[in-house]
Structure 1
Amino acid sequence: MKKCHLLLINGIALGELFGLVFSLFFSYLYGLNDYVPSVPTFTDHFTRPLNAVLVSVILWGLMGLVFSAGALVFKVNYWTLRKRTIVNFAVYYCGFTPLAILAGWFPLNVTNWLFFTGIFVLVYVLMWMINMYLVKREIKRINQKIKK
């Protein structure tokens, strides 16, 4: 149980770190003179820029929490890989999508939601395939060591 708490706390911290790094990157990329934590449609909701930063940090932490919680699904050893993958995808998608909407990353309408979903599925499948390749390569390496 202690490991789970640590994983979740690390997830929050990583979410905040990634959020900060990406927001700094985009602030520089767009040639802004001032730091902005998110898109103008998000920051315009706040009377003080500091409030926008605070809410962004909370959202980034929650995003990190979603992804670390989703990773816990793969620790359920009595589930099949298919079931773990489906549940993991559902946790990621259902947890991340509302947070992305709240962060103002895409306007909430059917077209943008479908576009977001398509990109999300594409990235998820790509990451899943890379992970499967790495696991299979590691299994092959272990089996070769066992044969020696």
Structure 2
Amino acid sequence: MKKYFSYIISGISLGEFYGLIISLLFSYIYDLNNYVPSAPTFTNHFTRPLNAVLVSVILWGLMGLVFSLGALVFKIENWSLRKRTIINFIIYYCGFTPLAILAGWFPLNLINWLVFTVIFVMIYLIIWFINFYSIKQDLKKINRKLNDKL
């Protein structure tokens, strides 16, 4: 139980950290005089900028939580890699998409949702293949060490 609580706290913290860093970067990239936590379509929903920041922090924490808890799927050893990947993808996509919409990252219409989905799938696949290759290399090293001892 303590381990899962640690995942929750870590996920929320990382989500808020990355959300803050990305929002700061975009505020500088767009050469804004004032910090904005998200796109104008999001921040315009609030009467006070502080409320927009508060809601953004909550959304970032929830995003971090989704990704942290979704990663737990890969700890289930009796599932195949295919099953873990599919379940992980579903958790990430179904958890992250509504939060991205609420954060105002893209307007909710069919074209933008399809573009978001294509980008999401591409990023997911890139990260998955990088992790797969990295784990494969680690296994080769372990097997070489075991063979050298025999």
Q: Is the TM-score greater than 0.5?
A: yes
- Please state if 1:9 is matched with 2:14: no
Partner of 2:96: 96
* CA distance in structure 2 between the aligned counterparts of 1:88 and 1:68, rounded to whole angstroms: 11
The sequence identity of aligned pairs, in percent, is 69
Q: Which runs of 5+ in 2 are unaligned?
A: none
Superposed, 1:48-59 pairs within 5 Å as 48-59=48-59
* CA distance in structure 1 between the aligned counterparts of 2:8 and 2:141, rounded to whole angstroms: 31
Q: Deviations over 1:42-82 (max 9, x none)?
A: 00000000000000000000000000010001111111110
Partner of 2:119: 119
Q: How many residues align?
A: 148
Alpha-carbon deviation of 1:4? 1.4
* CA distance in structure 2 between the aligned counterparts of 1:74 and 1:37, rounded to whole angstroms: 32
Alpha-carbon deviation of 1:140? 0.2
Alpha-carbon deviation of 1:8? 1.4
> If the length of structure 2 is used for normalisation, what is the TM-score?
0.98
Partner of 2:107: 107
Letter in 2 for 1:75: K
Alpha-carbon deviation of 1:3? 1.1
Q: Which runs of 5+ in 1 are unaligned?
A: none
Partner of 1:36: 36
Alpha-carbon deviation of 1:2? 1.3
> If the length of structure 1 is used for normalisation, what is the TM-score?
0.99
Moved over 3 A (4+): none
Partner of 1:20: 20
For the aligned residue pairs, the C-alpha RMSD in angstroms reads 0.5
